[in-house]
Structure 1
């Protein structure tokens, strides 16, 4: 999604570039109303069931983002992402154990007291989703992972980033959730090759028993490693640019080049 950007070279140079271990492999920005699943980076999304509705822009009353889809509730309706990540992180060598995912989302009024699924690792969507915005208090997670201590403001555009390094014994590498660039929750670690290890595809906004109320979505991004705290901070808050691979190169000048190419379309309403 293309938006104008002001240049602040010194600020940009201070941002840490993404490491080679966390390369962007999939980016979907919903710019194309006639091809909702069109990828900016990686493979196009496959629409399963009823297609999301597309809006050229959407405001939460303060922030307006261009290129937005409203997902459709129900177990038959979701998006299938071929994430493009090779098996990694040990285990059997068949699954992705180190990865990260980012969303720019906010909840329609009608969804705010409902479960809202963000992703599902089960390829047949035959069980509960694996990460939620909770119905009662807008906390993030699921029972097995544990939920964040506080909830998000679901009436505002929010960037949620979840990072996975499965089976690690290092506290610094546990499963973590960040909101608008800041650590929001540290979750329970999960096993190598287990529930949170990925097959070649990942289901977005999917759940088997209607716990996937509609969400407004402006960006989804997938990375092939567990982003560090500094890398998530560099991604910024909602509407900030997701650096494409050509920008995530060695040194600050790679990050600086992002300013000349593109940014998430954000404006004050």
Structure 2
């Protein structure tokens, strides 16, 4: 579900394209943004084709707010949608995303901040693929730890990540990092669990941090409270692209980094 920058839902083709472009400028930074989005008109309320290529751009994350799905307002249909970002940078990590959809129906709602939100409510057929290399997944998983360390003039470097799949939609991870504070260095071990929900959201849990030696113990005490705040944290991989549509097939693999593939059709019952 995607928050738009407009105060009221767009009501025709031109205002919809303007809403797309303004929202792109708010959440995405990169060169030539105007040329990255192509929208071909159909017979309103239908749009014939939307193509977006955000390769090489950076997402400016926005904290999601609850959406009122009980009061949906009629929107429009996209006959053909194609999206790619290979890669899109998120929190200094590269994420590769590809998505296609046919006969994608979008409605409008309001979130808890009273922003206009586009909600996918039905689709004839669609596919989403998300890939994160192991190095970039490590960057995402250590984002909170690095923030906590920086607040205390410490840095975290040279991490090694191990992943172990647990069932169809979960994995354990363990990473060993070298942390520095001034001239001193220590080893930290950070571990936790990743779970994938049906709306393509990663959930982090069971996050722990242990340190070796006196300095390691001190740095672990600094990092641990920050990690605890990230327990149960959700990382949307393609949540904004799914809304109320129904997933037919979901594949989750951590053999080489993280790979998620999904097919969807129709709407949730």
TM range, normalised to the smaller chain? under 0.3
Larger-Rg structure: 2
Structure-2-length-normalised TM-score: 0.26
User: Structure 1 or 2: larger strand share?
Assistant: 2
Structure-1-length-normalised TM-score: 0.26
- Higher RCO (CA 8 Å, separation ≥ 6 residues): 1
